[in-house]
Amino acid sequence: MVATSIDPLFHRAVLFDMDGVLTNTARLHSAAWKGLFDQYLAERSPTPSEDHRPFTDDDYRHHVDGKSRVDGVLDFLHSRGIGLPRGDVGDEAGEETAHGLGKLKDEHFRRVLDEQGAEVFADAVSLVESLHQHHVATAVISASRNCSRVLEQAGIGHLFGVRVDGVVAAELELPGKPDPALFLEAARRLGVPPARAAVVEDAEAGVAAARAGGFALVLGLDRAGLPRRLADAGADVVVSSLDEVTIAAPGQRRLSEIPDGLVHWNEISSRLRGRRPVLLLDFDGTLAPIRKDPAQVSLSVRTRAAVQELVQRCPVAVISGRDLSDVRGRVRVEGVWCAGSHGFELAGPGDDPIAQEAGEAALPALDVAEQRLSAELAPVAGALVDRKRFALAAHYRNVSPADVDRVVSAARQICSELPGLRVTHGRKVVELLPDIDWNKGRALRWLLERAGLTGPDLAPVFAGDDYTDEDALREVHEDGLGIVVLSVEHGDRLTWAHCSVDGADRLIELLSRIAPPPGAP
Ligand SMILES: O=P(O)(O)OC[C@H]1O[C@H](O[C@H]2O[C@H](CO)[C@@H](O)[C@H](O)[C@H]2O)[C@H](O)[C@@H](O)[C@@H]1O
């Protein structure tokens, strides 16, 4: 069994089944099926080869839970030795076909739903909201054609940017669970590969579908006290409540739990174990303070002088989300290595840039995304679209709160329609990047190797402030030192850093202790 945690740096999306996971509609479905089948079996002429006993909870779980109406009718009746024709969508409710009986079941279901309403599971809503705070995308999956009706009744429709339900399945002719088609369609619409997404399911057919779809984590939710059935169907882990799911990876801590690097210097310095530091520094929010206009950002005279001194004492690199030429122009310190576009490009002091080749395949998609995003966001006051060579940023720092969702949704939508791109989030910015396994952490190792800065006598020290810096902080978690520069914008989020500092000036003070002048005590 794997840990019950969703890692926001790895799992870029979580797909939730609806009935039984988000809403307590499973009991309404079960009652509707029972109403249908008990009446049908009672009225059908007895035959020795057929079993006409009443429909049970076990029948619900094994034969209809999670399946489309038509498959549910066929599979349950088959288990009782009864074969019915599939029929056609135009069949009347009650006609003796799978479509006809399925329609009758739906009439039962809608009546009960209108009478009793859809009950929402609080643990699921709380998990979805936490995922959003960590910028993990969410989708809802259901074999039901009543999915949107149930979500709206339950008041949670707004929580899911993507919905793949019985209506979508019929339009696209997607087979139902245990086929993975519904899940794969949702992942496609979110622009996230299954290998980077998790699924939460309470039905055996749904668990089997997610497993068959190659999803990174299949979380079985057993609210019925029968965990074995989900484990047997292929769940990685089975929980009885979504309150048991944490959003973190082992090693991550909350910002509020991280010691201040200067106050706890002795403890922090022991991580370096006498090794020579290699300083790898983020730019915006780390070396330079955040400004409303990214074009107005510069290094203070004091910080530039400090970095100039640090370069005399140890290797220094800046790894930024900005375009390489942009960040080089703003750093302007002799001897510093720079990486731009979140590490897709890098250059040594005075060298020509080299690009991460696999990222180049995404350049045409980024060009199209740039045109479409610029057009889409032109009417949004304050939105700023910024093209870097290997990334496209949509800034919303100066956008009214009511319009922020519009900026983020436009970026997500365009990304889902353009293969080869993925979405990342930063401080009041959403960005599209080439969808390859590359980030500031991978870039950090690339830079160290390129610059010949590897070996047991060297300690990588990374400092950053943003979500995208967490990949680099994770990279140095084992063998180096990670420093997070605090910002009120992030609340008490998770981090891989070992210590924190409160602003650029304190960071410089800490770096000067990490790489002291010759002769310093
Ligand atoms: O990796 P970094 O060097 O930290 O770059 C990340 C992004 O930084 C810039 O945006 C951020 O700073 C802006 C200026 O202070 C601020 O207005 C914006 O809200 C921040 O997100 C830069 O403009 C982006 O291109 C970088 O990706």
Say how many Å lie between the CA of residue 190 and the centre of ligand 1: 24
426 CB less than 6 Å from ligand 1? yes
Residues 374-387 have a mean pLDDT of 98
Query: Does the structure show a pLDDT above 90 at 160?
Result: yes
What are the boundaries of each domain within the chain?
13-25+118-244, 26-116, 253-356+438-514, 359-434
Q: How confident is the model at residue 1 (pLDDT cuts 50, 70, 90)?
A: very low
Candidates 7, 59, 71, 282; catalytic one: 282
Say how many Å lie between the CA of residue 321 and the centre of ligand 1: 7
**Shortest-distance atom of ligand 1 to CA 395:** 19
The end-to-end CA distance of the chain, in Å, is 50
pLDDT at site 492: 86
253-356+438-514 belongs to which CATH class? Answer: alpha beta
| Residue pair 506/266 in contact by the 8 Å Cβ criterion | no
Question: How far is the C-alpha of 36 from the C-alpha of 247, rounded, in Å?
Answer: 41
Q: Whose CA is nearest to atom 5 of ligand 1?
A: 321
Half-sphere exposure of 246 (CA within 13 A, CB side): 12
**Shortest-distance atom of ligand 1 to CA 427:** 21
Half-sphere exposure of 215 (CA within 13 A, CB side): 36
Query: Does the structure show a pLDDT above 90 at 10?
Result: no
Question: How far is the C-alpha of 480 from the C-alpha of 498, rounded, in Å?
Answer: 9
pLDDT at site 163: 96
In the three-class reduction of DSSP (H, G, I as helix; E, B as strand; rest coil), residue 431 is classed as strand
φ, ψ for residue 354, nearest 5 deg: -120, 145
Query: Does the structure show a pLDDT above 80 at 400?
Result: yes
pLDDT at site 185: 96
Question: How far is the C-alpha of 255 from the C-alpha of 494, rounded, in Å?
Answer: 6
Please name the fold of domain 13-25+118-244: Rossmann fold (3.40.50)
359-434 maps to CATH 3.40.50.150: no
Strand order in the sheet with 197-201: 162-164, 137-141, 13-17, 197-201, 217-221, 237-239
**Shortest-distance atom of ligand 1 to CA 327:** 3
315 CB less than 6 Å from ligand 1? no
pLDDT digits (tens, 9 = 90+) for 299-353: 999 999 999 999 999 999 999 999 999 999 999 999 999 999 999 999 999 899 9
The H or E element spanning position 278 is strand 276-281
393 CB less than 6 Å from ligand 1? yes
Residue 282 annotated in active site? yes
Classify strands 384-388 and 354-355 as parallel, antiparallel or unpaired: unpaired
pLDDT at site 9: 84
Q: Whose CA is nearest to atom 6 of ligand 1?
A: 321
Q: Whose CA is nearest to atom 27 of ligand 1?
A: 321
429 CB less than 6 Å from ligand 1? yes
Question: Ligand 1 pocket check: which of 299, 300, 429 to mutate, most ligand atoms within 8 Å of Cβ?
Answer: 429
Residues 39-46 have a mean pLDDT of 96
283 CB less than 6 Å from ligand 1? yes
pLDDT at site 74: 97
pLDDT at site 116: 85
287 CB less than 6 Å from ligand 1? no
Q: Does 13-25+118-244 match 253-356+438-514 in CATH topology?
A: yes
pLDDT at site 2: 46
- What are the strands, taking DSSP E only, across 310-428? 316-319, 337-340, 345-347, 354-355, 384-388, 391-395, 421-426
Q: Please tell me the pTM assigned to this model.
A: 0.77
The per-residue pLDDT of the chain, averaged, comes to: 94
Q: Where are the alpha helices (DSSP H) in 278-362?
A: 301-313, 324-331, 357-360
Between the CA of residue 151 and those of 22, 36, 146, 162, what are the distances in Å?
9, 24, 9, 12
Q: How confident is the model at residue 147 (pLDDT cuts 50, 70, 90)?
A: very high
Classify strands 458-464 and 276-281 as parallel, antiparallel or unpaired: parallel
387 CB less than 6 Å from ligand 1? no
> What proportion of the chain, given as a percentage, has pLDDT over 90?
83
364 or 224: which leads in pLDDT: 364
